[in-house]
Amino acid sequence: MERLQKLIAQSGYTSRRKAEELIINNRVKVNGKVANELGTKVSEKDIIEIDGKILEKETKEYYLLNKPRGVITTTSDDKNRKTVIDLIPTDKRIYPVGRLDYDTTGVLLLTNDGEFTNILMHPSNKIEKVYTAKIKGILTKEASDTIRNGIMIDEVKVQPLRLKTKKIDKKTNTSIVQIIITEGKNHEVKRIFESVGYEVLKLKREKVAFFDLKDLTSGEYRKLTPKEVAKVYSLKNYDKK
Ligand code: URA
């Protein structure tokens, strides 16, 4: 359930503030009845009318982007840096599902569907995120074991589902490591390695749930198929009893 003014604004009809004015001025009906209280809660299923006309819901769009380095994961930036939204031409108000750092590359989903976003972000769904990290130094067995046993981040113990050293390069003194996490804390992978004394030099997200980078080069994007969207909806776990 959402507040009426929020749903009207989300449909793209007008801003939230203008929607509030419409509501106060008795111009909005929900399921045939005037709704003039700002606290009214409605769902996608309710029929909203404004001045006697049924409000069309905004068509949902879903994208998978191979995020390049040097682009920020927000919808706008006060420093005028390029954002992930600039890479996808659409008139819908899409936004990124979760965040990748400015210098992180790889799988990023974008949509204007709040429910789809909740499913992928809700901690109880434990959506798997696979990263490849290039780290400075040779990752020792002790450090790997410490990470595997769990690291405290924001007062929560995070324990990767998998941590695997893929390659060690003694010449450049770097290691390539695959790590799978199910949380989505800010800078989580970098903080995990920092906590055992290693700096992440490069970070790429290879996969989120079943979405990978197949056929997408850096900066490329594609629309999700209806089947993929339905598959995400089938992952919903958080309001099952
Ligand atoms: N963890 C990080 O440290 N950075 C990201 O961008 C994603 C996960």
What would the two tokens of residue 76 be? 């706008």
Nearest CA to ligand 1 atom 3: 187
Ramachandran area for residue 51 (φ above 0: left; ψ -120 to 50: alpha; else beta): left
**Is 78 one of the catalytic residues?**
no
CA 69, CA 43: separation in Å to the nearest integer? 38
Q: Which of 101, 103, 113, 154 is catalytic?
A: 101
40 phi and psi, to 5 degrees?
Answer: -55, 130
HSE of 101, CA atoms in CB hemisphere, 13 A = 15
**Ligand 1 pocket, 132 CB below 6 A?**
no
pLDDT level of residue 39 (50, 70, 90 thresholds): confident
Cβ atoms of 128 and 209 closer than 8 Å:
yes
Q: Where are the beta strands (DSSP E) in 51-128?
A: 53-54, 62-67, 95-96, 105-111
**Ligand 1 pocket, 71 CB below 6 A?**
no
pLDDT level of residue 241 (50, 70, 90 thresholds): very low
**Ligand 1 pocket, 104 CB below 6 A?**
yes
* Domains of the chain listed by start with CATH number: 2-54 (3.10.290.10), 62-123+211-233 (3.30.70.580), 128-208 (3.30.70.1560)
* β-bridge mates for residue 96, sequence order: 110
CA 30, CA 160: separation in Å to the nearest integer? 46
**Ligand 1 pocket, 105 CB below 6 A?**
no
- DSSP for residue 158: E
Cβ atoms of 65 and 84 closer than 8 Å:
yes
pLDDT level of residue 47 (50, 70, 90 thresholds): very high
pLDDT in tens, 178-229: 999 999 899 999 999 999 999 999 999 999 999 999 989 999 999 999 999 9
Q: How many helices (H) and strands (E) does the chain have?
A: 6, 17
What would the two tokens of residue 84 be? 């992930």
Mutate to test the pocket of ligand 1, among 74, 100, 109, 202 (most ligand atoms within 8 A of CB): 100
Look up the pTM and report it: 0.84
* Percent of the chain surpassing pLDDT 70: 98
Query: Average pLDDT over the chain, rounded to whole?
Result: 93
